[in-house]
Copies of this chain bind each other. A is one copy, B any other.
Amino acid sequence: MGAILGRVEAALTRLLPPAEAVPARLHEAMRYATLEGGKRVRPLLCFAAGELTGAAPERLEIAAAAVEMMHAYSLVHDDMPCMDNDLLRRGKPTVHVEYDQATALLVGDALQALAFQLLAEQQVARDAPTQLEMVKALAVAAGSRGMAGGQAIDLQSIGKTLSLPELELMHILKTGALIRAAVALGAQCGRPLGGEQAERLDRYAKCVGLAFQVVDDVLDCEASSATLGKTAGKDARRGKPTYVSVMGLANARELAEELRGEAHAALEGFGEPALRLRQLADFIVLRKF
């Protein structure tokens, strides 16, 4: 995975506006928010899905960069004082702390626009209709029925008791939608998948997306801020419902394990080209940070 991570970092470094270009402070902050940090789970999933369809790395790195920029923007906005008010992210001061709130707001806005620009201007798929589908998939994943909608539900849920289905809906939107888009976009960089195969791949993506959040909640409960690179235990302290608060630590761990099994099951029949997708399902559930 090291080679892919290096490739993604190089692509982000190249595709973000240069720090010295006007307006320099904004561009510097966009790079600060995106480069050198994060587990890069979405880009890794994007590349892994591309292996199923024989996608060229030159295409995958663009799609992966677009998804990662979208993710980075969401973190910058979520960390702002009017949202989660977080001071630490990826082991560094958050953007509104390092720069200021207005810059953080604009960094997020500009990163979102840049993600769509990349999918429209670079050749990321075999034809223009497929690229339009990729733009649409990313837009739906980011919008009010995806990531932004999940964040809205998250904010409304503070101090409330959510049922397990309600909690699941929130996370399917808040983190699941973009993870599913990462997998779908990666596959779309290559040969078309048959309907049944695309459906199985999407089932895999749903499972790892949910597992990712369950494990996040478990780690947030167990780990220290130093290991996480972000403020630990904050959701519980803020009265935000988590998988641990709703079902208990042991059950949450078990759920993550079940989702890992379902993700593997969804990949049956894909054989060797799905090796990396399997490894990532394992990494997402077994990680310690």
Contact = CB atoms under 8 A, between A and B. Distances in A.
B156 A136 contact: no
A139 interface: yes
Contacts of A82: 80, 100-102, 105
Interface residues of A, number: 55
A108 B148 CA distance: 10
A152 B105 CA distance: 10
Interface of A, helix, strand, loop or mixed by DSSP: helix
A144 B17 contact: yes
Contact of A109 (B132, B135, B148): B148
A142 interface: yes
Contacts of A169: 22
Interface in A102-139: 102-103, 105-106, 108-110, 112-114, 116-117, 119-121, 127-129, 131-133, 135-136, 138-139
Most interface-central of A110, A128, A144, A149 (chain B CB within 10 A): A144
Contacts of A146: 113
Contacts of A117: 135-136, 139-140, 143
